[in-house]
A and B are shown apart, each in its own frame.
Chain A
Amino acid sequence: MRLDLLRDLWLERRRRFAFWCIMVVGWSGVCGLLFPVLVDEIWVEVVMDWFNPALDLQQGYWLVALPAVGLPVLGGSFAFLEGGSLFKGQTVRHAIAFLLAYPLPRWQVYFSRLAYLLSACFLLTVAGYLSGSGMILLTGYPLPAGLSGLLPGTFLLILLLGELGVLFGMLSKSFWLDRLAGIVFLFLVYLPFGMRSGSGWVRYSPLFYVLGESPLMGGVDVVNLLVLSLLCVAGGLAGGYVFERLELE
């Protein structure tokens, strides 16, 4: 991989990244500030009753804590859009084609873009985590147990969505399809909260993987993280395969 290509990408996209970083830091910071309210049982019951009265307290807790795990939603949106924009659009395709007129193998161009996406997703996750946990500490509450355990899952999920965006960016010409994929993703995030605890559909929610556990059942599931890691590797390789055959019209 060529570091100069990676550096050029960061220079080119630093403002977009800064914008999303501010969004994520702001969101996580506000959630951290509101943490004492979020974990108050009275608030939990109010929200539970409004959303789905059949939910138990544990489910309700995750429901109100959902804004705090909004990081995968915001981060995922960034990664999906950024991944797509790395390969989509006439200007981007022209820039890639121009690079490929130089004696560079395609995989170098692809991996430099993937490395940019990976580093951006990682920085965004860490920034969101630091902002949120910093604000919780400021309120005088201790950090919830297992909060740092969310980090790998969140990062991997965000990266996976970025890779999905890359595939969409290369294969689809329709921006509407991207938006539809975004809506499906949001639906899946909130899926567990409309279902019974034991439902197998919960596994289709990204939250199931972010938390390293089922938000409905409780209990850490390391296997989920491994599944997510393998999916990330597969997504990266699939992107490389498509890019190798991509026609830069």
Chain B
Amino acid sequence: MRYLVLRTENLTKEFHRRPALCGVTLEVDPGEVFGLLGPSGSGKSTLLHILLDFIRPSHGQALVLGMDCQRNGLKVRRLVGYLPQNLTLPKGITAGQLLERFAALRGGVEMTFADELAARFQLNLELPCERLSPGERRKIGLVQAFMHRPELILLDEPSRDLDTAAQRELYRLIAEFRAEGRSVVMASQSISEMERICDRVAVFYRGRIIAVERGAQLRARAIRKIEMRFANPINPQIFIGLNNINQLVCDQNKVYCTVQGDPDALLKTATQFRVLDIISQQPSLEEVYQTVYGIPAYAT
């Protein structure tokens, strides 16, 4: 039988008769970076909380590293690293002292790797916790999640509040852990993040998984809003023949459109003229749900 890092079967959770998770079944392989994508309240964090035994499922079963996450909760949590969505830090101690406490709670964690991680995230360990910015708090959360080199890392909105450099460092770290055969399950609302680092992504909508996409598939179906400004007025007919262009609007020397997938053809056509500026934007999660999965925007 194939060894799976994570396996859930028909996992269902109701809060006061309101379903938060409905029949979630998924499998994560060793060395895989698995994304949970969805808007706020779609059940991503609920799933992570069940895996860590903070809450118990109404129906279904979850196996983490081959163990039942309820019956073998302690063993599971020994081998798992977790970054919560909201991290509450105590006052009156420094970031370094806090990391030492986290290491003591785990037992047998060497601080050398934690210090190395802190240095990579440019985290000042001398700062008192109450003076840490939201980004620095997030970095502490990341260091404690990775510092014992867990087999499986559960990250809830890992890049929220992080600056660009720290985000890049996080993605590098995840790639290194994946290369070592460790697995990462991360919940996020950012499609660009999912496209960039996840091998597979489960798309959540109101507690259900509506699709499981490969990272490459997600990239191929990615939608971008493009705004271009040319030196001279442009004839819109030149773009009409491009088959992955939608919502094309020309206004004198400006062109607005959405591109699904590869923007290569659009760029090659545009560069026949003198381009002054190009702005590319990711659409919101609502727009993607509407365009790709046919779910009305207001419903998300």
Contacts and interface: CB of A to CB of B under 8 A. Distances in A.
Contact of A94 (B74, B86, B93, B102): B86
Given A12-B91, A247-B56, A248-B54, A101 B84 contact: yes
Contacts of B84: 94, 97-98, 101
Interface string B139-169: 0000000000000000000000000000000
Interface in A80-118: 90-91, 94-95, 97-105
Max chain B Cβ within 10 angstroms of own Cβ: one of A91, A94, A103: A103
A103 B101 contact: no
B89 to A, nearest CB: 9
Interface in B203-227: none
Given A4-B104, A94-B88, A100 B54 contact: yes
A100 B101 contact: no
A49 interface: no
Interface string B34-63: 000000000000000100111110000000
A56 interface: no
B90 A12 contact: yes
B88 A98 contact: yes
Contacts of A99: 105
B173 interface: no
A180 interface: no
B130 to A, nearest CB: 12
Contacts of A103: 74-75, 77-78, 105-107
Nearest to B105: A102
Max chain B Cβ within 10 angstroms of own Cβ: one of A101, A247, A249: A101
B15 A249 contact: yes
B214 to A, nearest CB: 29
B87 A98 contact: yes
A249 to B, nearest CB: 6
A4 B93 CA distance: 14
A97 B54 contact: yes
B78 A4 contact: no
Given A8-B90, A248-B55, A249-B55, A97 B49 contact: yes
A4 B101 contact: yes
Given A8-B90, A8-B101, A102-B105, 10 more contacts: A11-B93, A95-B88, A98-B87, A100-B77, A101-B52, A101-B77, A102-B102, A104-B74, A104-B105, A248-B55
